Structure 1
């Protein structure tokens, strides 16, 4: 291939959303490990005399309290900015929900770097979380990414397209997490651990922001598919053809929202506590082990993508969601009884398909609306999930603190139960879709 043609091909790839996604997740995976270890170190001497807690339990309470406040700010502040950015995106400014949140990512990474260098109080990160939220944060960024991926794919291939996004996201997180623990231990002069790691993270986010401003291009594929194209996803993969938009089943959309809320509450609550749980005895992980543990979580992105690729040929989208939910429910239940590191990885191995449900739910929702309102719909889902976080984050944190003495894994059992409940509305969607499919085939036969 001639050199100019290769340059054109490379430039075409760079204009897509994927390079931005990879750079952002690489930087975020480095940041997550740094934040986790810095919070642990700053909480080592925490004391709660009135509560009569041991030193370890006091540290766990301090860490979980920090993450509770930090995550609540991240859940609450992006709500209005994300909705405004989504509206701008649906009016033709598709890059805005990507560019603005990336500036917030960069500022928050720089804030943690300043906390380490100048020995600032850890509470400074609450202010950084506010700035991050006002930029739209993940609440605006992720729907923006999913919207561009949805508009660049056909309806029949949308589930796979969104899972490709999840795959790249997971692979970048896997690489970043594997090296993050080792980079955390590197430091120059007397600046302390984490300076090198956070500097690299900030540079990656700066590059990501410049890339999104200069190179990112929006591409939309017309949603006109040939009738003879085979349906690889099974009878539930898309709604039966209808004449009126009212037949697109608002009931199904409500059920999908309910399932998403329950599932994200289970996953978000369980994984939030998991980050604190691995720092206490008997695990007591080091920075490198924290990085490996985060990498194991990112590996689930890859296995979930492979699961979609294999299962979508023989099962419906509804069955894909149920498989993913069952995978998470079993793995997080086994996490209740984890006492050693190898048991942790065994439990994580049961979560192989845990990331299938949410992109598949988003795929089903995006098929219920026109392209002009796709971004708003996906952002509304993200906002609803943010409101759910205002409930499940403090609930899981307080339950964990109350059960530290007698059963620290109780929150994981609770997470498993909520996941099973989330399977109920999805099953109803499957039954309704099957009935509609059969009704449509009857009409066609007549």
Structure 2
């Protein structure tokens, strides 16, 4: 590892290092012999902390994505219905299932689902190539451009959508807009840039909480967008809400450009279009990063924590797709108002998880905090699997009040396993993993639900709870091994 640049070490880093002298080392903070030391080069921190951070960027970007996603699906439904001459609507009486299904409605549902799949898959396939490129490039060129460019790409996507709506072009042009957004990194690049920025400016003790704050921004903006979007569409149609989406993306890009201060020292000679950025991501997982002295156990931890993150987020995305479907059907037969309350309760868990994480960190290691969060999620999913009444369903939502505590811990642990000069590459790969979680979770859970509902309607939720035991076991075993290793090193010294 390069010799540390003392001019680039923040005052709080020195205080934190001094406070750790009398404490046993945290194995997650050990990487190549020097824990948490900012190296020289393009990724070194500025001499003083930035006056503002990236939470507003992530909040605004997530708001725009959460606002437009359901509106796009509804617009596709309406346009395809119009093209096929279908004027019906779903019956509000969910108990009456004796009526034969309308074949035209089934065709509309199929075509809408297919176009949704094409649009999402197109954005994913382009983004999985571009996001690692941008993330690794930000390690040398600076974070701010990686926050600005994807928001401009998202704004360009909305412009295409508005042109389609004004000129009533074929819905296939929605795919063109999504591909243009994917070429700029899409929302995943914003995620990678924001989490890498927080890793740059936070010390190692506060990093988990700072990451949890970003996670809470995702939940709050998603809840706000869900409330606004549905009401506004019913009142004024599709076009005006999409103008708000455009304004939000532009505001996020403008804020990042004007107010977010660089967290790394940019290298003006850094090139974007080069294979070294993808190689940096590959080296991260094949050799454990650019630091010397990294052993096999360290690389295994990087892979295992990534696997845990994949399983946890896949369960989150997959089960979230089924909540509304589960609540609409018998025996719950919820109205739109109750579904809204359920969605609000789910999003409020982001706040309760943030508060719970902050409180638990005072007496527990991060790994045990993650296990408590997974236990909350598992218990809630088990209750969902047997819920046959409104009271029991809301009990499940209440028991999930800490279900988001695990993901910020996993992001933080991954961040501590790599060099400061590799944070962009790491979080770019994590963003791609998160995007693949959405595809895998949606495909798996939406296929499993109709295949198993004839013998147990809530089996899919029970299956999700069982899957979460895998990351819980991995996190627990790794923490026990880390503690045993720390005790052995302490006894040897």
Measure, in 1, the Cα distance between the counterparts of 2:73 and 2:409. 30
Aligned position for 1:216: 260
* Aligned with 1:423 (options 460, 463, 472): 472
Aligned position for 2:62: 25
CA RMSD of aligned residues (A): 3.4
Aligned position for 2:415: 366
The alpha carbon displacement at 1:303 in A equals 0.9
The alpha carbon displacement at 1:276 in A equals 5.0
The alpha carbon displacement at 1:318 in A equals 0.9
What SS is found at the alignment partner of 1:369? Answer: coil
Given that residues 76 and 390 in structure 1 are in contact (C-alpha distance below 8 angstroms), is that contact kept between their aligned partners in structure 2? Answer: no
What are the ranges of 5 or more consecutive residues in structure 2 without an aligned counterpart? Answer: 1-48, 89-98, 266-291
Q: TM-score, normalised by structure 2?
A: 0.72
* Aligned with 2:245 (options 201, 208, 224): 201
Measure, in 1, the Cα distance between the counterparts of 2:126 and 2:329. 30
Structure 1 range deviating more: 143-152 or 16-25 = 16-25
Measure, in 1, the Cα distance between the counterparts of 2:142 and 2:425. 13
Aligned position for 2:101: 54
Aligned position for 1:132: 181
Measure, in 2, the Cα distance between the counterparts of 1:414 and 1:122. 36
The alpha carbon displacement at 1:302 in A equals 0.7
Measure, in 1, the Cα distance between the counterparts of 2:334 and 2:71. 16
Structure 1 range deviating more: 335-344 or 417-426 = 335-344
Change (3 A) 1:367 1:46: farther
Q: Deviations over 1:137-182 (max 9, x none)?
A: 2322112100101111100111111112222333333333333332
Given that residues 331 and 347 in structure 1 are in contact (C-alpha distance below 8 angstroms), is that contact kept between their aligned partners in structure 2? Answer: yes
The alpha carbon displacement at 1:438 in A equals 1.2
Given that residues 135 and 425 in structure 2 are in contact (C-alpha distance below 8 angstroms), is that contact kept between their aligned partners in structure 1? Answer: yes
Aligned position for 1:34: 71
Change (3 A) 1:430 1:151: same
Aligned position for 2:345: 296
1:49-198 matches, cutoff 5 A: 54-55=101-102, 58=106, 64-187=113-236, 193-198=237-242
Which runs of structure 1 show a deviation greater than 6 angstroms over 4 or more consecutive aligned residues? none
What SS is found at the alignment partner of 2:235? Answer: coil
1:219-238 matches, cutoff 5 A: 219=263
Given that residues 58 and 191 in structure 2 are in contact (C-alpha distance below 8 angstroms), is that contact kept between their aligned partners in structure 1? Answer: no
1:367-446 matches, cutoff 5 A: 367-403=416-452, 407-444=456-493
Q: TM-score, normalised by structure 1?
A: 0.78
Given that residues 50 and 201 in structure 2 are in contact (C-alpha distance below 8 angstroms), is that contact kept between their aligned partners in structure 1? Answer: no
What are the ranges of 5 or more consecutive residues in structure 1 without an aligned counterpart? Answer: 1-11, 188-192, 222-242
Change (3 A) 1:217 1:293: farther
Q: Deviations over 1:299-336 (max 9, x none)?
A: 12111100111111111111111112222222233333
Aligned position for 1:226: none
Q: Deviations over 1:229-260 (max 9, x none)?
A: xxxxxxxxxxxxxx954487222222111211
Given that residues 164 and 171 in structure 2 are in contact (C-alpha distance below 8 angstroms), is that contact kept between their aligned partners in structure 1? Answer: yes
Q: Deviations over 1:179-210 (max 9, x none)?
A: 333222221xxxxx233322222211121122
What SS is found at the alignment partner of 1:103? Answer: helix
Aligned position for 1:229: none
The alpha carbon displacement at 1:401 in A equals 4.2
What SS is found at the alignment partner of 1:442? Answer: helix
Size of the aligned set, in residue pairs, is: 403
The alpha carbon displacement at 1:424 in A equals 1.9
Measure, in 2, the Cα distance between the counterparts of 1:399 and 1:61. 18
Measure, in 2, the Cα distance between the counterparts of 1:65 and 1:338. 31
What SS is found at the alignment partner of 1:185? Answer: helix
The alpha carbon displacement at 1:361 in A equals 0.7
Change (3 A) 1:268 1:357: same
Q: Deviations over 1:66-90 (max 9, x none)?
A: 5444443343321110011012101
Aligned position for 1:230: none
Measure, in 2, the Cα distance between the counterparts of 1:60 and 1:341. 28
Q: Deviations over 1:25-77 (max 9, x none)?
A: 33333223423544565677599xxxx98349937666655544444334332
The alpha carbon displacement at 1:400 in A equals 3.2
Structure 1 range deviating more: 418-427 or 55-64 = 55-64
Measure, in 1, the Cα distance between the counterparts of 2:346 and 2:186. 21
Given that residues 265 and 392 in structure 1 are in contact (C-alpha distance below 8 angstroms), is that contact kept between their aligned partners in structure 2? Answer: yes
Structure 1 range deviating more: 395-404 or 306-315 = 395-404
Measure, in 2, the Cα distance between the counterparts of 1:389 and 1:176. 19
* Aligned with 1:267 (options 316, 330, 339): 316
Aligned position for 2:3: none
The alpha carbon displacement at 1:342 in A equals 5.6
What SS is found at the alignment partner of 1:249? Answer: helix
Aligned position for 2:363: 314
Change (3 A) 1:124 1:36: same
